[in-house]
Structure 1
Amino acid sequence: MFLIFVRGVLMGSADIVPGVSGGTIALITGIYGHLVEAISNIRFGFLKPLFKGDFDGFVNSILDEIDFKFLIPLILGIGVAFLTLAKVVTYCMDVYTAFTYAFFLGLIIASAVILFKKLNHINFKNILFALIGCILTFIFVSLNPIATNHSLLVLFISGMIAICAMILPGISGSFLLLLLGQYKYMLNALHNFHLSEIIVFVVGALIGILGFSKILNYLLKNHEEITMAFLIGVMIGSLRVPCVEIANSISINIASLFPCLIVAVIGFAIIIVLETRFDYID
């Protein structure tokens, strides 16, 4: 359970960062398939005995339907990361922008390499879906943030949308929140513990993830190769985010780029080591 908690901390840390996906961390630490299946299996069938007053049936049903041993430590880890690391990550992004995004660059490249190793075939269909994923993501991350309000309804909808990206390797839910104009607002809500905003956002996220996970689980079970190829393209397309941030933060010359390259290599190496250290959970 402790190692699942650690995975949750790593996922939560990644999800805080625009351009990095918690789904990527889930993939490289060996829990991605289990995570998607565990969420998609939640169908609220355990409520039927409760409505009939059958409390014992309710307890048995909920224990059968929800993988508490897996989900509770994972969610706790994600929550701890969100509450403790939000300030650290935002500080690094503001003060050490180039180094921080260079580190993220290494993480994303390593994640794409690991995902590529999972492909059994390199054929026209896989290459096509990888290109589609790359082009669509490149266009998506090129969009400017949307100016919008921060009403509870908007936060609810933002939670639904962002969580779908957070469980997809290569697609950053935080960047999606940035485009929706809710990223800094929700970070401040976490910093100051604004309970109403946090609860509404979390409820939207729960509804979104329960629906989307079923679609994703179907794709992974029935079209795994092209889904993985598409996600590789998504990761490659998302590299625009750290590259642009690095270019905007430093002058482009060898003296400035070399330290960033070193940091990127460190990020790359960490992901490769993580992938070899964590066992896959079926």
Structure 2
Amino acid sequence: MKDTKTKNNFIHWMIRFLKGIFIGSGAILPGVSGGALAVVFGLYEPIIRFLANIRKDFLKNIFYFLPVGLGALSGIFILATPIHYGLKHYPVYILWAFIGAIIGTLPSLYREAGKKGRTSKHNILLILTAIISFTLLSYFNHQLNMEIPRNFFSWLLAGGIFASGLIIPGLSPSNFLIYFSLYQPLMAGIRGLDFSIILPVVLGAIVIILSLAKVMRSIMEKFYTTVFHFILGIVIASTAIIAPEHSLYTAFNGFNYFILLLIFLIGISLGYWMGNLEESFE
């Protein structure tokens, strides 16, 4: 009995670690929201509850979220280089793998959104949110582009933007960092362990997380079903927006499309598996 309990604890630890990797890698992938992935994996609500009242069950929560944090750091630091390389040399494959993974998690996210009941109005909200969000994101992707000086305060801002993607599901911090021309230097700083960049980013992230967590918890408690359908609409829009542009397919042949389809289906399977992973060990 004790061995079984130990084994189950280890399995749950590894599940949270894997989810953390996805959340961390999603946070640095343009168009993807770490917060939305936290929702998909059933971690968003407990994370917000913890951050909104850190002193309550502090040690218990620390031990619970430790593998998530370690996984997220692994996703950010370890995968920063391969993701950067992949987006530079094989963007179509990398983006469709992530699109597939997110699509695979949508059934579990839809179930989560309706956990406390839903009406036709919530489904209408979901559809309208997806359409409006896609329109706005398309506009920002093509119209918004500015460059700000790279200094301590700009990296504080980058950290705040980074954290906003966790607290506000569906918000892609990488997109906004690209708009401000901070994405590439931030990724370079992470890959090179440049602490003159990393430390202010972490500080800015902590400030935003502690400032917004209580607000989001209050909103979630009062409007749970509405908020989750709104989030699901944003997730759908932000997933559609990262689909590669037509110009990236110019050199593709039948074999390339076959590999792409295979990667996409593997992504869907992986996402579906991850979305239901926790339940299979309950």
TM-score by length of structure 2 reads: 0.82
- Residue 66 of structure 1, CA deviation: 7.8
Q: Which runs of 5+ in 2 are unaligned?
A: 1-12
Instruction: Indicate yes or no: 2:246 matched with 1:247.
Output: yes
2: distance between equivalents of 1:204 and 1:215?
A: 18
Partner of 2:133: 136
Partner of 1:12: 24
Q: Closer, same or farther in 2 for the Cα pair 1:112/1:62, shift >3 Å?
A: closer
Partner of 1:87: 81
2: distance between equivalents of 1:194 and 1:166?
A: 23
Moved more, 129-138 or 229-238: 129-138
The secondary structure found in structure 2 opposite 1:266 is helix
1:239-272 per-residue CA deviation (whole Å, 9 max, x = no partner) reads 34322x2423103988354543332222111111
1:74-126 per-residue CA deviation (whole Å, 9 max, x = no partner) reads 22222222221100101111111111111122123233333223323242254
Q: Closer, same or farther in 2 for the Cα pair 1:38/1:63, shift >3 Å?
A: closer
The secondary structure found in structure 2 opposite 1:147 is coil
> 1:35 is aligned with what amino acid?
I
Structure 1 runs of 4+ aligned residues shifted over 4 Å read: 61-66
Q: Closer, same or farther in 2 for the Cα pair 1:204/1:177, shift >3 Å?
A: same
Q: Closer, same or farther in 2 for the Cα pair 1:180/1:66, shift >3 Å?
A: farther
Q: Closer, same or farther in 2 for the Cα pair 1:171/1:112, shift >3 Å?
A: farther
Q: Where does 1:85-234 land on structure 2 (aligned, <5 Å)?
A: 85-118=79-112, 119=114, 120-128=117-125, 130-132=127-129, 134-143=131-140, 144-234=144-234
- Residue 153 of structure 1, CA deviation: 0.7
Q: Percent identity?
A: 22
TM-score by length of structure 1 reads: 0.82
- Residue 167 of structure 1, CA deviation: 4.0
Tell me the number of residue pairs that the alignment of Structure 1 and Structure 2 aligns. 263
Partner of 1:29: 41
The secondary structure found in structure 2 opposite 1:239 is helix
- Residue 64 of structure 1, CA deviation: 4.2
